[in-house]
Chain A
Amino acid sequence: GAVVSQHPSRVICKSGTSVKIECRSLDFQATTMFWYRQFPKKSLMLMATSNEGSKATYEQGVEKDKFLINHASLTLSTLTVTSAHPEDSSFYICSARAGTARAHEQYFGPGTRLTVT
């Protein structure tokens, strides 16, 4: 299957700082990217959906001013956690699909472990 990468794989930051997570589709053009968050021993929760060149659509309860998503190109989407707090510590996972892909062809990145101290 197609390859989606995330960078960094893990990051530790201090409370109040911002951290950016990158999601890249390595061998296809991702017209749509999704960002998920997963707390320990919990399932993945969709945070937002972004289409290249347009504003992201956030799920209910997700603060768009705190979780900034930029999908500026067909191979890169970024999630910036602004003014991070310890409760933002989580496993963040992106997924991507090409515009012509069949519905099941949605590929997930390896995830980014964020720890806010």
Chain B
Amino acid sequence: DAKTTQPPSMDCAEGRAANLPCNHSTISGNEYVYWYRQIHSQGPQYIIHGLKNNETNEMASLIITEDRKSSTLILPHATLRDTAVYYCIVRVVGAGSYQLTFGKGTKLSVIP
């Protein structure tokens, strides 16, 4: 699976949009971009995933650049409960490819 690069930490004011970047310059054509988050001392939680089109769900939006070498996770109105480590994971989706390889992620701190 391709590797990803994320800033180690970010701050965001409560109520503002949190934009978390991820670089995946070596991504292959059949690799998806996944985002998970881990609140302190809990298991990871799935947020969103995409291949090349932008995606939106009730939690967040995912913006993938046209060349697919980077993406941005957007939390439109961050709350204190969004304070967590956010992981950007790139992986092939196919038979037997269900493992998730976690990098260091970005520690997002939402500030009151």
Q: Smallest CB-CB separation from B47: which chain A residue?
A: A104
Question: What does DSSP make chain B's interface, helix, strand, loop or mixed?
Answer: loop
Asked whether B104 lies within 8 Å of A91 as measured between CB atoms, the reply is no
Binary flags per residue of B88-108, CB closer than 8 Å to A gives 1, else 0:
000101000111111111000
Binary flags per residue of A1-34, CB closer than 8 Å to B gives 1, else 0:
1001010000000000000000000000000101
Q: How large is the interface on B (under 10, 10 to 19, 20 to 34, 35 or more residues)?
A: 20 to 34
Question: What does DSSP make chain A's interface, helix, strand, loop or mixed?
Answer: strand
Asked whether A104 lies within 8 Å of B34 as measured between CB atoms, the reply is yes
Does any Cβ of A come within 8 Å of B43's Cβ? yes
Does any Cβ of A come within 8 Å of B49's Cβ? yes
Asked whether B104 lies within 8 Å of A44 as measured between CB atoms, the reply is no
Please name all residues of chain B whose beta carbon is closer than 8 Å to the beta carbon of A67 when the two chains form the complex.
Answer: none
A6-B43, A95-B44, A108-B44 known, 4 other contacts, Cβ within 8 Å: A93-B44, A95-B100, A103-B93, A113-B41
**B residues neighboring A (CB under 8 Å):** 32, 34, 38, 41-46, 49, 87, 91, 93, 97-105
